[in-house]
A = this chain, B = another copy of it.
Amino acid sequence: MSLNIPETKNPRVVIVGGGFGGINLAKHLKHAPVQVVLLDRNNYHLFQPLLYQVSTAGLEPDSIAFPLRGIFRKQKNLVFRMAEVTGIRAEENILETGIGELHYDYLIFATGSNTNFFGNKTIEANAIGMKSLIEAVQIRNYVVKQFEESLLLTDPEQIKAKLNFVMVGGGPTGVELAGAFAELRKYILPKDYASIPQNLMNVYLIEAGPRLLASFSEQTSQKTLKSLEELGVRVMLSTGVKEYDGKTVTLSTGEQIQSHSLLWSAGVKGVPVHGLPQDIILPNGRILVDDFNKLKGFKNVYAIGDIAQMTNDPRFPKGYPMVAQVAIQQGVNLAKNILLEMNGKVEKPFHYKDLGSMATIGRNRAVAEFAGIKMSGFPAWVVWMIVHLMSLLGFRNKLVVFINWFYRYFTFERGTRIIIKRGAANIVKLRQTVAS
């Protein structure tokens, strides 16, 4: 097997990663006289902002994943290959992958980020991260299984340990997860597991800093805290997680919580490819780039999105936030710059245009800040839904997600709380092939 990329006389632009940055860069090279090679370990683009809804049985995994071949079917200058990048030999302009090598004229890393456990191996071994589709599906399976198994127990302390769900990290993901779990407690528990007293299930949200949603205004943080507490979430601010062995969460205050489920969204980190010089890789795994997303010391290698650290904006002295909007805008800007450079013109430095941020907390509850406006409650929730529906790729996905939300709104029901588990013997072969 080899990558089997067609020969071309045009410059070859190799993009590693089909996330928000990668696909926007590729799209904006559609009419350029280049060959675009897009590589991703998966064959789909994942709409990460809605991942937490898959893990809490609100959406099917298929609704938030869109096949990359579908996105680029009409882009004649693009070749997609499912491949894992293993290294780079920059002096030769060669990228190494699990299925062969590839010469590039331009190389862009758009590989995103992974869960960051900040070096705590015990937590890493026992906590649950949430960055991939399979993780979200398995969290859903795991959570429903906790509910089912709680029915088999009689000791309230044992039931509590099964139904205590602890979220770590008070950013948008942690807030959205905590809200979704609180809604499972409020709407699903009394209906489907009526024999379990509601006070045996508790949802915790633990944040090391003094407030939730640190990137929002103080006022929005307060509203978020109030909304979550109204939903029954136990929010603990200025509190860190010291240790977690799979059964007991030990907090920085010395307090302990019995829980089989610690969901970690307290940080993300980059995972840079093998072969890059160590002096441009930061402790959080991000790669240092200049104002044009070019790797320091390189001529034709770039990084965009979460994996890139650019510090040309005084508002963001530690680099831009690791959010979709930065990745999208850097992708679009880099596409323009590659064309400018090919035509011998002067490239344009990246400037981030903050379009605002939002987070949903639950039914009729969200917060949003954009263009100097602060919204909360029902209006913010409607805006949140519209923005996310519009951003989803593909008509089919939009419609299916809309129906799920509409249905859930009026029935308080979660359609997809099924446990897909393996069992049949002759699956072993399939699993080995697919997992490899």
A residues neighboring B (CB under 8 Å)? 1-4, 6, 41-44, 60-63, 65-67, 69-70, 73, 81-82, 99-100, 114-115, 124-129, 131-135, 137-139, 141-142, 144-145, 148-149, 151-154, 191-192, 195, 246, 394-397, 399-400, 403-404, 407, 413, 415-427, 429-431, 433-435
Structural contact, B413 and A403, CB atoms closer than 8 A: no
Structural contact, A419 and B395, CB atoms closer than 8 A: no
CB neighbours (8 Å) of A151 from chain B are 4, 81
CB neighbours (8 Å) of A125 from chain B are 426, 429
Most buried by B among A115, A195, A417: A417
Closest chain B residue, CB of each to CB of A154? B4
Structural contact, B396 and A138, CB atoms closer than 8 A: no
Of the A-B pairs whose beta carbons lie under 8 Å apart in the complex, a sample of 14, sorted by A's number, is A4-B151, A4-B152, A4-B153, A44-B419, A65-B418, A81-B148, A128-B429, A132-B424, A134-B423, A138-B427, A138-B430, A138-B434, A397-B415, A400-B400
CB neighbours (8 Å) of A115 from chain B are 424, 426
CB neighbours (8 Å) of A422 from chain B are 134, 435
Question: A4-B154, A60-B60, A129-B426 are known contacts; what are 8 more A-B pairs with Cβ within 8 Å?
Answer: A6-B195, A41-B423, A62-B418, A73-B191, A125-B429, A129-B424, A134-B423, A137-B420
Of the candidates B134, B148, B424, the one whose C-beta lies within 8 Å of that of A134 is: B424
How distant is the Cα of A42 from the Cα of B420 in the complex, in angstroms?
Answer: 8
Most buried by B among A135, A417, A421, A429: A421
CB neighbours (8 Å) of A3 from chain B are 152
Of the candidates B129, B145, B403, the one whose C-beta lies within 8 Å of that of A403 is: B403
CB neighbours (8 Å) of A61 from chain B are 60, 418, 420
Closest chain B residue, CB of each to CB of A69? B192
Of the candidates B62, B134, B404, the one whose C-beta lies within 8 Å of that of A416 is: B62
How distant is the Cα of A131 from the Cα of B127 in the complex, in angstroms?
Answer: 33
